[in-house]
Amino acid sequence: MNASNDETKDAKDAVAANVKPESDMPAFGPPKKPTELGVLGRYRILKELGRGGMGGIYLGYEERLRRRVALKVMLPKFAQNEAAKTRFNREALAAAQLKHDNIVTIYDADEWNGIPFIAMEYLQGASLDDFLKKNPVTGVSQALRVGREVCSALAVAHKMGVAHRDIKPSNIWLEAPLGKAKILDFGLVKSLNPLDEAKLTTSGAIIGSPAYMSPEQARGSKIDHRTDIFSVGSVLYRMSTGQLPFQGDNLMDLLMALGGKEPRQVTELNPKVPSDLAALIHKMLSKNPDDRPQTAEEIAAALQRMADRRQFAASSSHAIPKSAAIRDTAPTGYTNSGEQVVAPIEVNPQEESAFDHIEESGPRQVLPPASMAETTRGSASNTLSDPPRMPVVVSQAAFQKNRTFFFAAIGIIFAMVFALTFILVRVLK
């Protein structure tokens, strides 16, 4: 009994270390295990990952599909506000409609017991913001790739009539192990249809992160997709120089710098940055939207051309630039699924903890021995969601090959028998 009580106490202490005050927590259902936070519909809430804007981010587990998910749950103080709920639901709708490798995938959006939530893929890795805190200046190749991937994703969003309005390092995720960029948090998404936006946005309101927002967004003026282009320029500036393009001791100083000052030259702060990349960054940071590149697609293409020239020069001279901050010695890398990633950024998965090990409830389906022999990779069990394994294909190919050899051998034997018979007949005559 004492040992059981101690285990229960340890579990409660572990949960307490990972939650906020109860008044600030969504009213989840009773947890299935002492170390968990609760239940939200069909999702088990394992732990809190962070907070931002109107929602808390939680690590969840969907038992039916046996997968981890990231759950963005609207906090109680905002859930009572209908306008806030509408904006929250619009984020889910906008993100769910955007299908791109560099945009986080939305699985589900619903409301349970008055708690709105969004379920999305649980990404391993780190945000670009966290990475830059440890590595203030990235390699040029990495800046080109992250910029291209972000702009490729934004090009799709803009064509769908959606502006993100809050592009910044903390909303760009570097997926482990090679740092593939994914855009997060469409919480400030803006419909480019004036009739849709008029219902939710008050004229003159400043919405976004001041350090990365465009001058027109800081003024509360009418904005379009080109505000995202300015924000990406600010991100590339920080990646290339380790500094923000516009700085101030307080919000007012920052907004004044944003509206009236020009950033220091990128090449002045980092001479290793190529002049064409520096010129593009400064053009993206133009005060007047008309002076910026007009589409994200145009920027992605320009960054790709720069990366191609850099790759060609490296392969021709057999000298690949190195960065003290990150490994820039390999021009390409491959994900676990075999996808090629140029100029990889090495990012480690999140550390495992006691909360990450889940005891699944309910019976697991056991595959027949014949199927299991071909579908497992040296393990004793397999899940229904696993794709067909390569050994099945290999076995079929081996069977086809063996059958061909078998029939060829039979043919040769018959030919030899026929030849011997013919020779014997001639000899006996």
Do 135 and 184 sit in the same domain of this protein? yes
Do 206 and 133 sit in the same domain of this protein? yes
> How many CB atoms are closer than 10 A to CB 135?
17
Cβ-based burial of 39 (10 A; exposed 0-12, middle 13-18, buried ≥19) = middle
pLDDT at 371: 38
Do 140 and 93 sit in the same domain of this protein? no
Q: What is the CATH number of the domain that holds 110?
A: 3.30.200.20
Do 317 and 405 sit in the same domain of this protein? no
For residue 330, pLDDT over 80 is answered with no
Contacts of 157 (CB under 8 A, 6+ apart): 94, 98, 100, 103, 163, 164
Q: Does 375 fall in a domain?
A: yes
Query: Which domain, by its residues, includes 182?
Result: 125-342
Which phi and psi angles does 209 have, rounded to 5°? -100, 110
Contact yes or no for 325/138 (Cβ under 8 A)? yes
The Cα-based distances of 394 to 163, 373, 379, 391, 398 in angstroms read 47, 13, 19, 5, 6
Domain boundary among 76, 104, 121: 121
pLDDT at 339: 52
The Cα-based distances of 170 to 50, 173, 183 in angstroms read 12, 7, 9
Q: CA–CA separation, 325 vs 317, rounded Å?
A: 23
Structure tokens at 149: 């991937």
Q: How many residues does the chain have?
A: 429
Contact yes or no for 187/165 (Cβ under 8 A)? no
Distance in angstroms between the alpha carbons of the first and the last residue of the chain: 101
Q: Which of 88-92, 104-108, 287-291 has the lowest mean pLDDT?
A: 88-92
Show the CA angle centred on residue 16, arms to residues 14 and 20, nearest 5°. 140
Do 115 and 130 sit in the same domain of this protein? no
Reduce the DSSP state of residue 189 to 3 states and report it: coil
pLDDT at 333: 53
Do 227 and 306 sit in the same domain of this protein? yes
Do 154 and 210 sit in the same domain of this protein? yes
Q: What is the CATH number of the domain that holds 145?
A: 1.10.510.10
pLDDT in tens, 228-264: 999 999 999 999 999 999 988 888 888 888 888 999 9
Q: CA–CA separation, 147 vs 143, rounded Å?
A: 6
Q: CA–CA separation, 422 vs 410, rounded Å?
A: 18
- What secondary structure letter does DSSP report for 31? P
pLDDT average, residue stretch 170-192: 77
Q: CA–CA separation, 420 vs 189, rounded Å?
A: 85
Whether the link from the prior residue into 31 is cis, omega within 30° of 0, is: no
Q: Does 350 fall in a domain?
A: no
Q: Does 357 fall in a domain?
A: no
Domain boundary among 121, 141, 170: 121
Do 49 and 116 sit in the same domain of this protein? yes
Q: Which of 74-88, 101-115, 278-292, 323-337 has the lowest mean pLDDT?
A: 323-337
Do 258 and 378 sit in the same domain of this protein? no
Which H/E stretch holds residue 415? helix 390-428
Q: Does 328 fall in a domain?
A: yes
Query: How many domains does the chain contain in total?
Result: 3
Task: Give catalytic residue positions.
Answer: 166
pLDDT band at 105 (very low <50, low <70, confident <90, very high): confident
Q: CA–CA separation, 63 vs 61, rounded Å?
A: 6
Do 6 and 132 sit in the same domain of this protein? no
Q: Which has the closest alpha carbon to 333: 343, 323, 324, 325?
A: 343
pLDDT at 422: 80
Do 190 and 330 sit in the same domain of this protein? yes
Domain boundary among 92, 121, 150: 121
Is 72 within any annotated ligand binding site?
A: yes
Q: Does 347 fall in a domain?
A: no
pLDDT at 238: 96
Q: Which has the closest alpha carbon to 224: 186, 197, 187?
A: 197
pLDDT average, residue stretch 35-50: 90
Show the CA angle centred on residue 19, arms to residues 15 and 23, nearest 5°. 125
For residue 39, pLDDT over 80 is answered with yes
DSSP-based helix, strand, coil % in the chain, nearest 5? 45, 15, 40
Whether the link from the prior residue into 263 is cis, omega within 30° of 0, is: no
Do 331 and 195 sit in the same domain of this protein? yes
pLDDT band at 344 (very low <50, low <70, confident <90, very high): low
pLDDT band at 182 (very low <50, low <70, confident <90, very high): very high
Q: Does 197 fall in a domain?
A: yes
Q: Does 351 fall in a domain?
A: no
Residue where the block lists tokens 């029939």: 407
Q: Does 273 fall in a domain?
A: yes
pLDDT in tens, 119-171: 988 988 889 999 999 999 988 999 999 999 999 999 999 998 888 888 999 89
pLDDT in tens, 356-411: 445 444 444 444 444 333 333 333 333 333 333 333 333 444 445 566 767 778 88
pLDDT band at 188 (very low <50, low <70, confident <90, very high): very low
